[in-house]
């Protein structure tokens, strides 16, 4: 019943089936163990393309394998509210991303510079919640857990199934992760 499932009252139920809480390490270590990798930041300032197309470029960039893509509002000449389009990618994707920008937008030039990226070692831990199993991304720094982030898409899907707020599911997953520490 939704009324029971939603709200913090739901928390109580969680502790009843406490012994059943299961924690499974399903993910291998990912990312260079606190090492640095070299990536490229590709940037272009756009003042003559519609935001519709710029949004499309973000979708395409991720489809093509960009590490990240984001926009920054910038103020350009002649009172133009421009957009700084940034793509973070591996060296062997640099040409591909440049071609994406040149083909989909009207830019005549794009900049690039190398950056060093340091990533934390991370594992995936699956925890049980009253909203179903949720994977938690666990990051370690110097052997200590510094982050435990529930997978967004799984939380959103679970929240829609149970018809509760997304933050309910995220909190439940974080709670389950902490609980499972002592099993």
Of 90-129, binders to a copy of itself (CB under 8 A) are 98-99, 102-120, 122
Query: What's the min distance (Å) between Cβ of 123 and a copy of itself?
Result: 12
* CB closer to a copy of itself, 122 vs 126: 122
Among 48, 65, 91, 161, interactor with a copy of itself by CB under 8 A: 48
CA dist., res. 87 & res. 67, Å (int): 8
- Residue 132 or residue 179: which is nearer to a copy of itself going by CB? 179
Binding flags for a copy of itself, 51-90, as an x/- string (CB under 8 A): xxxxxx-xx--x-----xxxxxxxxxxxxxxxxx-x-x--
Half-sphere exposure for 152 (CA within 13 Å, toward CB): 0
How many CA atoms lie less than 13 Å away from 157 in the CB half-sphere? 9
Q: Name which of 122, 120, 118, 149 is nearest 28 in CA terms.
A: 122
Q: Is 157 in the site for a copy of itself (CB under 8 A)?
A: no
Distance in angstroms (rounded) separating the CA atoms of residues 120 and 172: 24
């Amino acid at each position: 019943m939704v009324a029971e499932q939603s709200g913090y009252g739901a928390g109580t139920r969680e502790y009843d089936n406490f012994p059943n809480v299961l924690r499974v390490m399903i993910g291998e270590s990912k990312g260079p163990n606190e090492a640095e990798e070299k990536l490229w930041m590709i940037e272009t300032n756009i003042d003559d393309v519609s935001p519709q197309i710029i949004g499309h470029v973000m979708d395409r960039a991720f489809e093509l394998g960009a590490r990240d893509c984001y926009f920054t509002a910038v103020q350009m000449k002649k009172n133009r509210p421009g957009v700084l389009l940034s793509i973070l990618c591996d060296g062997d994707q640099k040409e591909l991303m440049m071609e994406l920008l040149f083909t989909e937008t009207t830019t005549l030039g794009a900049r690039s510079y190398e950056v060093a990226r340091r990533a934390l070692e991370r594992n995936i831990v699956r925890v049980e919640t009253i909203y179903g199993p949720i994977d938690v991304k666990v990051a370690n720094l110097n052997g200590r857990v510094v982050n435990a982030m529930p997978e967004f898409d799984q939380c959103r899907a679970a929240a829609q199934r149970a018809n509760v707020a997304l933050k309910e599911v995220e909190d439940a997953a974080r709670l389950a992760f902490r609980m499972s520490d002592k099993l």
